[in-house]
Homo-oligomer: A and B are copies of this chain.
Amino acid sequence: MTQPGILNATLQGLRVLEIGHFVAAPFCTRLLGDLGADVVKIEPLTGDPVRQWGEQVDGRSLWWSIHGRNKRSLAMDLKAAEARDIVLRLVAQCDVLVENFRPGQLDRMGLSETTLKEANPKLIIARISGYGQTGPYRDRAAFGVIGEAIGGLRHLTNHPPGSYDLPPVRVGVSIGDSIAGLYAAFGIMAALWQRDRAGGDRAMRTLDVALTESVFSMMEAMLPEYGRLGKVKQPTGGGIATAAPSNAYPTADGGFMLIAANSEPLFARLAELMGRPDMVRDARFAGNAARVAHAAELDALIAGWSGTMSTAELEAKLTAADIPSSRAYTAADAAHDPQYLERGMVREVMDPALGPVLHSGIVPHVPESPGAIRWTGPDIGAHSDEILSGAGFDAAAISSLRQKGVVG
């Protein structure tokens, strides 16, 4: 199958069935599809509701162009009597099932784990939910913002207690869903490796990925510091509790510049650049510990300097002085960033429905067999016929299913 010198796509040969919606499960399968897996997505006849989110062009979702890329769409009414048999035929053909219904919902559709295993004894099943498949919260509705709050992220995304009275902010994307989807993708590949390798155990496994826990797993020392010392980790605004100066500083044109000059040589270079070499000799700023203790005063001095310059001017000065720094990238900054462009992380893709669209590239980058954007998010049911045909339904059967409103 492979050409000389060219390896397989990293996940070529992997067959994935998604019965998911919104963000977490579809993000998981996007990652698998980006690396070359064949992803069949079962979605309602009216489409995954995420197709309605965000900006639309002529009724077409720009997000979907990315979120649905490299997937084949089978539109189906999962509540129809015929649906269960179709799903099980597809399950028999695939390596992995990814779903993010509320716990128990697939069971109620006649797709219990026992049934799925009968259809495919080696199936890897990845279940993504708000709180997990077990425990007292399992039946609660899974809203991303609530999962992030329980994961501990929301409390920490704020200015220090008492410094102002606005609420902690939401990271502007559903980061908890995406992290959970990425954890599921990792777990799927781990289970597949142990299943399929020489010396592996040929065993099915289920993955129980909770949005809350996915976020919580990234909270570093928050939990052990509380348990051992009673310390409740608090938000630190734009800065870092343990290093200074490191913050986002205002510019004259309303932007913000991240400056991380929290080492002795970097701080000395910054002081020089500010025309304030005396700062290095100031006892308040002698060494990182002193700077952290006087971070507010130090930040005010830097902000007073940074605020006199445009973002571009400040950026040029900091770069020339080799001080780690960056503007807080907007969409516009990212779209024109030479590094992103050079590495294909910003690329123009032709979407049949939308015309040329900018897509973010593929992570991780695998130089020997880079992933590909084979196609953009498809229309609802764009691949229904070929998928059903591949599962053994003939043209008459497919036509009948369509007439009954089972598939679209």
Contacts and interface: CB of A to CB of B under 8 A. Distances in A.
Interface in A146-181: 146, 149-159, 161, 164-175, 178-179
B150 A225 contact: no
Nearest to A224: B62
A238 B148 CA distance: 12
A229 interface: yes
Contacts of A334: 150, 152, 216, 219, 222-223, 226
A231 interface: yes
Interface string A320-357: 00001111111110110111101101101000001111
10 contacts: A13-B197, A55-B221, A137-B339, A145-B240, A145-B260, A159-B166, A166-B238, A193-B196, A219-B360, A226-B334
A55 to B, nearest CB: 5
Interface stretch (A97-105, A242-250, A386-394): A242-250
Contact of A193 (B165, B192, B199, B338): B192
B146 A340 contact: no
Contacts of A153: 171, 173, 175
Chain A residues touching B, range: 35 or more
B367 A206 contact: yes
Given A141-B324, A179-B218, 6 more contacts: A62-B228, A134-B343, A167-B247, A192-B193, A209-B363, A216-B345
Given A334-B216, A334-B223, A338-B136, A236 B172 contact: yes
